[in-house]
Amino acid sequence: MRRTTNRFSTCVAVMLAVQACKSHQPSQFVADFVKQLDGKSLAEAKAQLEEENEKVGAFIKFMGNFKNEDKPQHFKPEDEKEGSPFSITDPARMEAAYQLALSDAGFNQKYSNGYSQLEPDGPSMRRSATETPVFITKEIYFHDGSKQSEKLDLSESHRVNSLKTIDSVLAEATYSYPVKTAVIQLDDKHDKGDFKGTPVKLERIQDNFVRVSLEKEAYKGYLEIEAFNKDGKQLDRTSYLRAPEGGENIAGMLKDYRKVVEGLLKNLEKGAYKDIAALQKDILDKMPSETPFDDVDKGYVDAYFKGNVARIKVHIQDGTKEGKKTLVLRNLEPNHTGLMMVAEAGSDKFGFISAATGKIAIPYNYEELRQITPWFFANGKAPAYQYYRLDTAAKQLVPIKEHVETLSADLVKASPNRINDRIFGVMNAAGQMVLPMEFVDITIDPATKLIFANKSEEDGPLAGVTTIYDQTGKAVAGPYVTSGVFTNGLLLVTDKGGNSYFINPQGVKVINLKGYYNMRPFSEGLAMVTNADGKYGFLDPQGKVAIPFEYKMATDFNLGLSQVIRTNNDVEEVALINTSGAVVVPFAPSSDNDTDGEGTSRIYTMQGKKFDAWGKQM
């Protein structure tokens, strides 16, 4: 599972941290927080405390979702299920996975009163099995042409003190992954181990349940627990919880922490502090010695398995590789309206703030308002939603009669506001219909931003056809039956006569697929097709045969690999090949073949084994 490296997800990974204390001394977290207020005004400090209060409220709500209902249970031998051995991913493959995750990384800009926050995001990053890198900004480039040099850790949701639309940021991404592990074996008779001078102890084994306590580097570097039954059979793990010592009391600590923050905010409202130094002293005096956000150096792991545990192996990180990359992150959904929806503090109402002045431009008059695009909004409850278009000139929300759904930052899919009348058109930010409401479905091609508009033709030779338009509503190509989206700059289409082609974004037929069957869109520079004999091969973007037609079955390429099947003397053999057609995992007889996941999460099942996305046996 990918771990996002920010304070919120650290709560997920370690369920927050707790330290013992003997006297009222501010924790390092509190001391650091107070130091951040140096040189700030009381108004700026209030904004920071309000932000802290919001975060703690989110943590409390999030923690409410964690209810561990697992209990130790005894398994009959026939009910035990075997698990797979643990191993870290090959460092070269981890490096490749991070480079892929960063290849299309960007950010979403979220707005609050007087400031905005940048949240890293991206298609490959969402699909990646890696942890999310830490992004530190160097330069911030605004849409109005201005820029500022600022060092912000985006993983900590540090804010930009501006409401202006940001086009991009120059950032440094850092990440790390294990390259070496230590293994500590424990059982009832040998329940203590050591990792670099820090203890690892088996606290409890009960049927399928195990608890292990760890300290310092052992706790921070914990990777996995493997369990084995009395016969040496490895057991499948069902769940685990990694938490700090005393973590059972974290809910109370969160509430205590929030109570102090809210008290400080009330004092600020009353004008109780003459200057920032007085506020800082009060924070140090009133904050408890233990906070939910202190660093941790001792904790435990609870794990449950599908069988009765006799002994375990604890895997601990014993060496890491650090990676670093400077890149430009682009705004994935920029807001060019100049007006940003924000919530009123202390109420459930929404209004709009001007990016130019930072002042309220549309009053807080709207309850349950949600943003569809920067230009369109809705409120109410299903099915009686009221939809609005943002009129930036008049600075008001204008009610519209249509039901709208997002297509892009500037376009929405519009239909008559009736539940059973599901026909669609395209409306632009000015409220004008770019395409009439006569289509069954409408989508935007992510690569070219062309509009795909689908119609049903019950009396025609095909069930439905798609016409391709540009964003002004001008027809570019079609009507066709389309397969997927533009990849490698080409789109697979079939006309009403049953003829198939690859076309380019200008609608020009680039590859005629006459004589080919079972065509697939391009994947990593190659398109899978079959010939007249039903054999699978691959074409390049010029329409030439890149991999010969010699397979009974094949899959689209994923990270440079395809699973292929051939028949050899009436025996099915399976292998993995790369994009040049070379065999990566040799052919061998196999009756149970499958692929699961995509990108770095892809797993191949074949030859009675499992292989990862790079063809390494798991």
Please give the full DSSP string across 462-518, using - where no structure is assigned: SSEEEEEE-TTS-EEEEEEEEEEEEETTEEEEE-TTS-EEEE-TTS-EEEE-TT-BS
pTM: 0.73
Model confidence over 277-289: pLDDT tens digits? 999 999 988 888 7
pLDDT score of 65: 60
Distance, in Å, from the CA atom of 169 to the CA atom of 367, rounded to the nearest integer, reads 33
pLDDT score of 247: 59
Order of strands across the sheet that contains 594-596: 594-596, 603-606, 609-611
Picking from 198, 233, 231, 229, the residue whose alpha carbon sits closest to that of residue 212 is 198
Q: What are phi and psi of 38, to 5 degrees?
A: -55, 130
Pairing of strands 594-596, 209-215: unpaired
pLDDT score of 276: 92
Torsion of the alpha carbons at 183, 319, 602 and 610, rounded to the nearest 10: -30
Pairing of strands 522-523, 209-215: unpaired
pLDDT score of 592: 86
Measured at the CA of 297, the angle between CA 294 and CA 299, to 5 degrees, comes to 100
H or E element that contains 316 = strand 311-331
Q: Which residues contact 53 (CB under 8 A, 6 or more apart)?
A: 258, 261, 262, 265
Residue 471 to residues 441, 466, 478, 489: CA-CA distances in angstroms?
A: 16, 15, 16, 18
Given phi > 0 = left and psi -120 to 50 = alpha, else beta, which region is 15?
left
Distance, in Å, from the CA atom of 598 to the CA atom of 591, rounded to the nearest integer, reads 22
Picking from 520, 530, 527, 540, the residue whose alpha carbon sits closest to that of residue 565 is 530
Q: How far apart are the first and last CA of the chain?
A: 17
Picking from 133, 53, 69, the residue whose alpha carbon sits closest to that of residue 101 is 133
pLDDT score of 13: 36
pLDDT score of 19: 36
Q: How many CA atoms lie within 13 A of 264 on its CB side?
A: 29
Task: Let me know: does 222 contact 211? Beta carbons within 8 Å.
Answer: no
Residue 332: DSSP 8-state = S
pLDDT score of 129: 75
SS3 51: helix
**Buried/exposed 403-424: b ≥16 CB within 10 Å, e otherwise:** bbeebebbbbbbbebeeeeebb
Distance, in Å, from the CA atom of 299 to the CA atom of 216, rounded to the nearest integer, reads 9
Number of helices (H) and strands (E) in the chain: give both, helices first.
Answer: 8, 43
Distance, in Å, from the CA atom of 212 to the CA atom of 198, rounded to the nearest integer, reads 13
Pairing of strands 311-331, 106-112: parallel
Picking from 165, 161, 160, the residue whose alpha carbon sits closest to that of residue 144 is 165
pLDDT score of 172: 97
Task: Let me know: does 107 contact 119? Beta carbons within 8 Å.
Answer: yes
Task: Let me know: does 526 contact 543? Beta carbons within 8 Å.
Answer: no
Residue 309: burial class (beta carbons within 10 Å; 0-12, 13-18, 19+): buried
Residue with tokens 């904790």: 299
Instruction: Please list the rounded mean pLDDT of every run of 10 residues in the chain (618 residues).
Output: 34 36 65 84 83 78 62 93 89 89 92 86 85 94 93 83 92 95 94 93 95 92 95 92 71 83 89 91 85 77 95 95 95 91 81 89 90 91 82 93 90 81 89 92 92 74 77 92 90 90 95 93 94 95 95 93 92 93 92 85 88 86
Three-class SS of 99-142? HHHHCCCEEEEEEECCEEEEEEECHHHHHCCCCCCEEEEEEEEE
pLDDT score of 6: 38
